Amino acid sequence: MGTVIAITSGKGGTGKTSITGGVAASLSLMGRRVLCVDMDIGLRNLDISLGLNDRALMDFSDVALGRCPLARAAVEHPDLNGLFLLTSPMTQPASLTADKVRALLEEARSGYDYILIDAPAGLGGGFRLATCAADRAIVIATNDASSLRDAQRTVAELDHLRTIHLVMNRIQAKLLRKLRATIDDAMDAAGLPLIGVVPEDPQVILCANLGQPLTSRGRRGAGLACWNIAQRLEGQRVPIMRIR
């Protein structure tokens, strides 16, 4: 049975979507079947990051509401075997409920090794819908104080999950000495183990504009960080990246 992982952040702009795509691409390159589900209703961007915006015609609500089978709605990446996308609707249907999302994800477990959910920022109804059937969660935060506080509030809303990890994103080498304390404080305050540190990397914007997942452009910088996170999800012991 596949594992459902909700990738979340307290606030927007933390790089959640890029990391979702990068980790998903890494897992597919490891031979896993991965389904990315964009649940950021009305503000979807995962299809652009994966280069699938012209291919994803049906969305997850079509499957959840029985309008389309999962096998037809999930679009496979043309260059990354085993990587699929189920995109988000532009508006939320009134009949879309948490029970129907749970049923959709239960079906997906039987066909995929990992289901990565790109959850919307914030702690509203969309967040609750995206996390209602998750087995575990990854919280993305940056080094600024507001992001760290919002990450801690996000963790409090995920107390029904046994496994939650923290990813610190956009870490700059020139600030690393000062940020070590910040990262440690964030882990202590949130009570979260660290699963990855991702450096500030201009390749992130380039990949997003080209519609290419981070890892597809090589294992360096942010792409290597995503690869390492994927390895840890697979149960491998990988040292946290040293950012210089």
pLDDT at 185: 60
pLDDT at 189: 56
Residues of the chain by 3-state class (helix, strand, coil), percent to 5:
40, 20, 40
What are the DSSP calls for 49-80, one per residue?
A: HTT-TTT--SBHHHHHTTSS-HHHHSEEPSSS
Q: Give 241's pLDDT tier (boundaries 50, 70, 90).
A: confident
pLDDT at 176: 58
Q: Give me 178's structure tokens.
A: 């000062």
pLDDT at 147: 84
pLDDT in tens, 56-82: 889 999 999 999 999 999 999 999 999
Higher-confidence position of 16 and 190: 16
CA distances from 128 to 101, 189, 218 (A): 11, 22, 34
Q: Is the pLDDT of residue 244 over 70?
A: no
| The CATH homologous superfamily of the domain defined by 3-233 | P-loop containing nucleotide triphosphate hydrolases (3.40.50.300)
185-193 own/partner pairs: CB under 8 Å, 24+ apart: 185/148, 186/141, 186/148, 186/151, 186/152, 189/148, 189/152, 190/139, 190/151, 190/152, 190/155, 190/166, 191/155, 192/139, 192/155, 192/164, 192/165, 192/166, 193/165, 193/166
pLDDT at 175: 64
pLDDT in tens, 127-163: 999 999 999 999 999 878 788 888 888 988 998 898 9
- For helices 145-156 and 176-190, angle between their N-to-C axes, nearest 10 degrees: 20
To which residue do tokens 């079906």 refer? 107
42-45 own/partner pairs: CB under 8 Å, 24+ apart: 42/88, 42/89, 42/90, 42/91, 42/92, 43/120, 44/87, 44/88, 44/90, 45/17
To which residue do tokens 């209703």 refer? 41
Cα distance between residue 201 and residue 101, in whole Å: 35
Higher-confidence position of 199 and 187: 199
pTM of the model: 0.93
Q: Give 187's pLDDT tier (boundaries 50, 70, 90).
A: low
| Helix residue spans in the chain (DSSP H) | 16-29, 46-49, 60-64, 70-73, 98-109, 125-131, 145-156, 176-190, 203-210, 221-233
Q: Give 183's pLDDT tier (boundaries 50, 70, 90).
A: low
To which residue do tokens 């096998």 refer? 71
Give me the chain's average pLDDT, please: 89
Q: Where are the domains of the chain?
A: 3-233
Query: What value does the mean pLDDT take over residues 84-113?
Result: 96
pLDDT in tens, 13-41: 899 999 999 999 999 999 999 999 999 99
pLDDT at 188: 63
